[in-house]
Structure 1
Amino acid sequence: MIELRPRCQLQQLTSHIRLFGTSMINQLFTLLSLGSLFYTAESLNSNEKDDELLFTEFPKESPHIVRHSYFKQEFKLGYKLKLFCKATGHPRPQIVWYHNGAEVNPDKGRTIRYTLHDSTLSSFLDVDPTTIADAGEYECVASNAKGNHVRSFKAHYIL
């Protein structure tokens, strides 16, 4: 057990950290800055006099794109182009799409959908209807506090 400040103690367990005493809010920031771990808080009781929280630790993990569309994509002009990217990491990564170096924003003809599941995020980019301008390089960039992971796709049209 480590005493952080008067009347506030920290107990490190195998996969949990228990913080109890007074000044919980001030100690939370100290706790969150310890090492390369982050924590989720869970109240152990409802008694305001005995402030006690249990923090479950999760090691931070850089994002990793685990599934994605094929590298080369062909599309017919006027039809749909569909790209897919699924990333995992801790904390759960965010996914941003790029086309020829510019961020893709949803607008008429471009739809971006997301599906969340635990520590994974799936993203779908649909371009419908396609034009000549939709050819080029697409990138799926998964990022979190630990880093980035990029997958590139080449899309060209066929007549």
Structure 2
Amino acid sequence: MKSLLLVCCLMLTLLIRDSTAARAGGRGSKGKGSKFGSRMLTNIRHRNPASASYYDNKDGARIIKSSHFELDYLLGRKITFVCLAQGYPRPHITWFKDSIELYSHMFFQVHEWHMGNDTIKSKMEIDPTTQKDAGYYECQADNQYAIDRRGFRTDF
């Protein structure tokens, strides 16, 4: 019983340490020890073959190129973020700000380009910017096999 409790405490400590390290790192934070960009790190192991085939599926959505992690902008100027994702079937890209899905409006536009059968490029623009546009943006690529996300922080 004591050994089981010790193992659980050790695993929890590792999960907390890894999630803290993931939040501290970022694509723009070279030299801080993070080589994974803004992708959230998890210490969860595949428990069965079905979950392994889902998370490691070769056709799953993967973001292969994205904008820098941090961006400072001037009020009244344009903000632009780019995500390039790959997967089969071609992924769908959704944009979020502070964990809320963004929808089109007069000052927010999304442009998408389909490249081949398995790649999509999405560019999100806000023009002109205001103080309310500061925050944490994410692009999410998903298809029937996997979901991948990248985050971007903005401030004026």
TM interval, shorter chain, is 0.5 to 0.7
Q: What is the distance in 1 between the residues matched to 2:58 and 2:144?
A: 8
The correspondence of residues 59-138 of structure 1 with structure 2, limited to 5 A, is 61-118=59-116, 119-138=118-137
Q: Does structure 2 conserve the Cα–Cα contact (< 8 Å) formed by 1:60 and 1:91?
A: no
Greater than 4 Å deviation, 4+ residue runs = none
- 1:7-41 CA deviation, whole Å, 9 max, x = no partner? xxxxxxxxxxxxxxxxxxxxxxxxxxxxx8xxxxx
Task: Give the Å deviation of 1:148.
Answer: 0.1
Deviation at 1:60, TM superposition (A): 6.0
User: Which is greater in Rg?
Assistant: 1
Which has the larger share of strand? Answer: 1
Q: Which of 1 and 2 has higher RCO (CA within 8 Å, sep 6+)?
A: 2
Q: What amino acid is aligned across from residue 65 of structure 2 in structure 1?
A: R
Matched length = 100
TM-score (norm 2): 0.62
Instruction: Tell me the residue number matched to 1:141.
Output: 140
Q: How does 1:38-49 map to 2 (within 5 A)?
A: none
Gaps of 5+ in 1: 1-35, 37-58
The letter of the residue matching 1:155 is T
What's the offset of the Cα at 1:106?
1.1
Deviation at 1:96, TM superposition (A): 0.1
Identical counterparts, % of pairs: 33
Distance 2:121 2:71 in 1: 19
Q: TM (normalized to structure 1)?
A: 0.61
Across the aligned residues of Structure 1 and Structure 2, the Cα RMSD in angstroms comes to 1.3
Shift of 1:74: 1.1
